[in-house]
Structure 1
Amino acid sequence: MNQNLRGWTVSLLVLALCSFFTQCANIVPPGGGPRDTLPPRLVHVAPLDSTLNFNSSRVVFQFNEFVELDNVIEKLIVSPTMKRTPVITAKLRVVTLEIKDSLQPNTTYTFNFGDAVKDVNERNPIEDFQYVVSTGDYMDSLQLTGKVLVAETGKPDSNIAVMLYSNLEDSVVSKEKPLYLSKTKGDGSYRFRNLKPGTYRLFALKEEDRDYQYTQPDELIAFSDSLVHLSENLYDMNLALFNEVDTIRLEDEPEVTQPEPEKDKDKEKKRKPRLQVGFDLNGGQQELGDSLTMTFNFPIRSLDTAQIGLYEDTTRKKVPFSLHPADTTAKAFKIAYNWKPGKPYEIILPAGFATDTSGLQTAKADTVNFEAKDLDDYGTVKVALTISDSARRVLPANDTSYQFVIQLVSGTELKYTGVITDGKWERGLVQPGEYTIRVVIDRDKNGKWDTGSYYGVPKKQPETVFSFKEPINIKKNWTVSPAVKL
């Protein structure tokens, strides 16, 4: 009897434990392997890649896993270009290319998908995926490579259209689509493959409308000075991209506009407009070696500078100054004076000293107090320039009538510039911060970078700019001495 009781007791205990662990246990799915980082693999294509005497209007690509298309219309590049864009679809493991144009005879066609084909799960792209066929009995195989740099900054830009034309007219870039098309990568490099021997014009364009024609004034263009005679592979066909309108300006010559606050339209109808003035002061301090910017909310017709009083120091000594427009808006003006470090200043503006183009005058007198910064608020830069043999190859040949101009750039803003003399340049009163160094080959010795011109007479390339990857960091009361090598 005791044995039976013990048996029942053990059985009940086992059942209780099983019930407890069943309720408390977490069901964990089996762990997977490492993350898939491999792109899809092409297992078959019909017609085959490198097919000669190609005459199909449909190409089918089969992959080893499910695939999808990522912005394929934007990324697909067909060379020679077609009037009608092919239709591309993806379903499961298959991508289908439908050709809607008639193909030219004895021509090699390249369909470059870029990284548009990706696997569904991890979205791993096939890099530089392309398909090449020929409608003739031979395959064109010539290549042309190079880099495109933005002339003003000396830096590369990605997704720039690089174009070859068999029509050799100067105006072809504004009238026709290119025969061959390529796009730059992140480092600015481009490559044409499977080109036909011949003579071409070479251009690059940065545009938004994707019509591959130079038609808008805000588009950037680059061009080769000479025709491209292609009978063998050509390398280092480098181009400088520029806007024909010179957009560069120094910080002390900004295009200043005075933003107006949003106002209730009904109240605005009842309220008379007022001519208002403001000053560009950072925390009530004026930068040494720079002009003080005075801005208005309306364009100014006349300023009575004799009425403006500038007073220096605690003694309120009246000091002379000069005033000139800061830009072409007639809203911003520069008060130029050799500010003394750490000194307090006061500007007195009487009523009616300014009149706008509608006859409106400043209604009330105003007084503005500020201080000039101290010398210790700034750093100093001393640059030593050396020129490598490779850099000498891009200098104007048989011409010494140029100079080197250095630029210190903060973000995208040109802050300081000057001419390098005997390989040296020094600048004090540099505001603390991080700067990129650029060196301009100033061909006309006007002390600044000049853009190029394609439709001007004569044509001219933009001035060459070297941009250095490593920035310099300026701190208060420090001297930085970077060695710059071209």
Structure 2
Amino acid sequence: QRNFTGEKIELTFDEYIKLKDPSEEIMVSPTVGKETKFQVKKNKLVIVPKQKLAENTTYNISFRDAVQDINEGNPVFNLRLAFSTGDEIDSLSVSGNVYQLFKEEPPEKITVALYQADTFNIFNHQPTYFTRTDKKGNFTITNLKAGLYRIYAFDDKSKNLKVESKSERFGFLTKKFNPANKVDTLKIPLMQADARPIKITSIRNTTRTSSIRLNKAIDSVRVESEYQNYFIKYFGDQQNEIVFYGILEEQPLEDSLKINLHLQDSTGNKLDTIAYVKSVKVKTIKEKFTINFTPTQYDYQAGTITTTGNFNKLISSINTDSIYIQIDSTHFKAVEKKNISIDTLYHRIKLSADLKLPKTAKDSPTSNPILIFGKGAFVSIEQDSSKARNEVIRIEKEDALGSLSVDISTKEQNYILQLLNGKGEVLETKPNVKKHTFSFLNAQEYKLRIIIDRNGNKKWDPGNFEKSVEPESVIFYKTFDGKTSVPVRANWEVGPLLIKF
């Protein structure tokens, strides 16, 4: 209908109806207000907009599964309504697909929205035109005027038509388009990235530590202070906390220590600020010193073992006399300090040592060396010692393992090839290789993933909406039948698989 002037919209059906989640299922675009009323009486549906309808505007109503027959609850299929408050009904449309960057499953009920103003901010403003995706992530926004638009998508859990990046997935495209030129293949990547500005939320001082808490996790921290020799900095249990240790015993005469902080998060947001920390004599409960290691991995090609771990207290000393590898009942190999590296900021530890095994040992499934950490192998900065721990190094028979080779065809300069297990965990990472073979693989399902590393920093970056930088692309290898899993069996040599992008 054209030149509509009514204050409510009334629809009549050929049988009695009922509504299911109308505020969720019925999409009115442009929006007419969150508190729009939907009323049913017998076979009539009345929509009372919260806001007055704008002049010379085309409205589109998508009912999705909201309108159902009263007896069996069957929804009216693909029910849509378009009307205009002016002389013309706009008829252009845009369509495409929303997909998850790091998952294969299509996202459901994702809000897809358009905006035109360059000053529009998806975190602060509500869109005029929007819709939701179907079960396959597909979407269509209809009844548009010609003009330049940008598009974004988000999981509107808060139902306020704004992106809450702390808890909602979102994605965006930076390039403008005009629906007057057929636009039906847009692909919007969905990701989780906290885009809020970095803020300090609290500073907590104790006798030996000062903790600066932030509103979100950060990627990097740089500290400038004339008192840098008085403390050691490291992240807390999560990367939204920076801990400064050791400011008590050698604290200068000043009551507080001035620290210049330079912080940056994964989206490129920065915070340069000043904080003051000090020692406050308070009673604290002393934590037990713990170090947790991952299962030790054996590299057949390099003839090395590797294990990584994390610790809850700073490590002050390592007793390598208490760390060694028992190859069998009569052969032992010492671990040296050069085999151990410590990252204080992230409280991580890595042990990597040579372990050349004779051929007979590799062939024997019962010949598993043991990595031994004796009691007191590690001593914390509070002088408590680590517990004893033995870690069996599992070495499979070579004929029980397989390999997977890859050929890459691309014009991209920087990219990252990743081998994943069936759970999606990254097992190996190889940057900028044209050919590669993943050898000595356990018999199981694997996945291959490519990250287009536009800035060459050897990690995935989520981009930044306010700087008009899209997230780096992620590509999964797919077989001819569309599957992403690649089986590797004992003694198999799979590939080479061609990945072209």
TM > 0.5 fold call = yes
The one-letter amino acid of 2:128's match is L
Residue 218 of structure 1 and its aligned partner are, at CA, apart by 4.7
Deviates more, 1:73-82 or 1:63-72: 63-72
Identity over the aligned pairs, expressed in percent? Answer: 24
Residue 81 and residue 360 in structure 1: after superposition, are their counterparts in 2 closer, same or farther (change >3 A)? farther
The aligned residue for residue 402 of structure 2 is 379
The aligned residue for residue 267 of structure 1 is none
The aligned residue for residue 124 of structure 2 is 175
The aligned residue for residue 110 of structure 1 is 60
The aligned residue for residue 288 of structure 2 is 274
Residue 311 and residue 386 in structure 1: after superposition, are their counterparts in 2 closer, same or farther (change >3 A)? closer
The aligned residue for residue 362 of structure 1 is 385
Does the 8 Å contact 1:408/1:417 carry over to 2? no
The one-letter amino acid of 1:167's match is A
1:73-112 aligned at under 5 Å gives the runs 73-112=23-62
The one-letter amino acid of 1:204's match is A
User: Secondary structure of 1:198's partner?
Assistant: coil
Does the 8 Å contact 1:243/1:452 carry over to 2? no
Q: Matched residues in 1 for 2:287 and 2:453: separation?
A: 47
The aligned residue for residue 431 of structure 1 is 442
1:410-449 aligned at under 5 Å gives the runs 410-419=422-431, 421-422=433-434, 424-449=435-460
Residue 301 of structure 1 and its aligned partner are, at CA, apart by 4.3
The aligned residue for residue 110 of structure 2 is 160
Does the 8 Å contact 1:346/1:369 carry over to 2? yes
Residue 450 of structure 1 and its aligned partner are, at CA, apart by 3.0
User: Secondary structure of 2:160's partner?
Assistant: coil
* Stretches of 4+ aligned residues off by more than 6 angstroms: 255-258
The one-letter amino acid of 1:161's match is T
The aligned residue for residue 292 of structure 1 is 307
Residue 430 and residue 85 in structure 1: after superposition, are their counterparts in 2 closer, same or farther (change >3 A)? farther
Q: Matched residues in 1 for 2:493 and 2:152: separation?
A: 44
Q: Matched residues in 2 for 1:377 and 1:328: separation?
A: 39
Residue 416 and residue 234 in structure 1: after superposition, are their counterparts in 2 closer, same or farther (change >3 A)? same
Q: Matched residues in 2 for 1:363 and 1:385: separation?
A: 46
> Structure 1: 5+ residue runs without aligned partners?
1-50, 250-254, 259-270, 388-394
Deviations 1:351-390 (A, max 9, x none): 373215xx261275x2415133223453211123457xxx
The one-letter amino acid of 1:302's match is S
Q: Matched residues in 1 for 2:55 and 2:286: separation?
A: 73
Q: Matched residues in 2 for 1:335 and 1:91: separation?
A: 72
User: Secondary structure of 1:73's partner?
Assistant: helix
Residue 73 and residue 484 in structure 1: after superposition, are their counterparts in 2 closer, same or farther (change >3 A)? farther
Instruction: Verify: 1:201 aligned to 2:150, yes or no.
Output: yes
Residue 176 of structure 1 and its aligned partner are, at CA, apart by 1.7
The one-letter amino acid of 1:275's match is F
Instruction: Verify: 1:480 aligned to 2:480, yes or no.
Output: no
User: Secondary structure of 2:87's partner?
Assistant: coil
Deviates more, 1:135-144 or 1:346-355: 346-355
Deviates more, 1:321-330 or 1:218-227: 321-330
Residue 411 and residue 66 in structure 1: after superposition, are their counterparts in 2 closer, same or farther (change >3 A)? farther
Q: Matched residues in 1 for 2:286 and 2:166: separation?
A: 39
Residue 338 and residue 132 in structure 1: after superposition, are their counterparts in 2 closer, same or farther (change >3 A)? farther
The one-letter amino acid of 1:451's match is P
Residue 325 and residue 179 in structure 1: after superposition, are their counterparts in 2 closer, same or farther (change >3 A)? farther
Does the 8 Å contact 2:32/2:49 carry over to 1? no
Residue 447 of structure 1 and its aligned partner are, at CA, apart by 4.3
The one-letter amino acid of 2:375's match is P
Higher helix share: 1
Does the 8 Å contact 2:368/2:393 carry over to 1? yes
The one-letter amino acid of 1:123's match is G
Q: Matched residues in 1 for 2:371 and 2:377: separation?
A: 18
Residue 197 and residue 278 in structure 1: after superposition, are their counterparts in 2 closer, same or farther (change >3 A)? closer
Deviates more, 1:72-81 or 1:101-110: 72-81
1:254-333 aligned at under 5 Å gives the runs 274-281=288-295, 286=297, 288=299, 291-296=306-311, 298-314=312-328, 315-320=331-336, 322-325=339-342, 330=347, 332-333=348-349
If you compute each CA radius of gyration, which structure gives the higher value, 1 or 2?
1
The one-letter amino acid of 1:462's match is P
Deviations 1:250-282 (A, max 9, x none): xxxxx9989xxxxxxxxxxxx98533444434x
Q: Matched residues in 1 for 2:7 and 2:298: separation?
A: 68
User: Secondary structure of 1:238's partner?
Assistant: strand
Does the 8 Å contact 1:433/1:474 carry over to 2? yes
The aligned residue for residue 163 of structure 2 is 214
Residue 85 and residue 436 in structure 1: after superposition, are their counterparts in 2 closer, same or farther (change >3 A)? farther
Q: Matched residues in 2 for 1:322 and 1:240: separation?
A: 41
Higher strand share: 2
Instruction: Verify: 1:53 aligned to 2:3, yes or no.
Output: yes
Residue 222 of structure 1 and its aligned partner are, at CA, apart by 2.8
Residue 417 and residue 90 in structure 1: after superposition, are their counterparts in 2 closer, same or farther (change >3 A)? farther
Residue 403 and residue 351 in structure 1: after superposition, are their counterparts in 2 closer, same or farther (change >3 A)? closer
Residue 195 of structure 1 and its aligned partner are, at CA, apart by 0.5
Q: Matched residues in 2 for 1:186 and 1:279: separation?
A: 41
The aligned residue for residue 460 of structure 1 is 469
The one-letter amino acid of 1:380's match is S
Q: Matched residues in 1 for 2:491 and 2:452: separation?
A: 31
Residue 473 of structure 1 and its aligned partner are, at CA, apart by 1.6
Q: Matched residues in 2 for 1:89 and 1:411: separation?
A: 47
The aligned residue for residue 130 of structure 1 is 80
Tell me the TM-score normalized by structure 1.
0.70
Does the 8 Å contact 1:438/1:465 carry over to 2? yes
Deviations 1:179-203 (A, max 9, x none): 1012222333221100122233322
Does the 8 Å contact 2:113/2:130 carry over to 1? yes
Residue 123 and residue 436 in structure 1: after superposition, are their counterparts in 2 closer, same or farther (change >3 A)? farther
Residue 434 of structure 1 and its aligned partner are, at CA, apart by 2.0
Instruction: Verify: 1:353 aligned to 2:353, yes or no.
Output: no
Residue 106 of structure 1 and its aligned partner are, at CA, apart by 0.7
Does the 8 Å contact 1:275/1:360 carry over to 2? no
Deviations 1:338-362 (A, max 9, x none): 4555441231323373215xx2612
Does the 8 Å contact 1:244/1:454 carry over to 2? no
Deviations 1:417-445 (A, max 9, x none): 324644x3210133332223323333344
Aligned length: 396
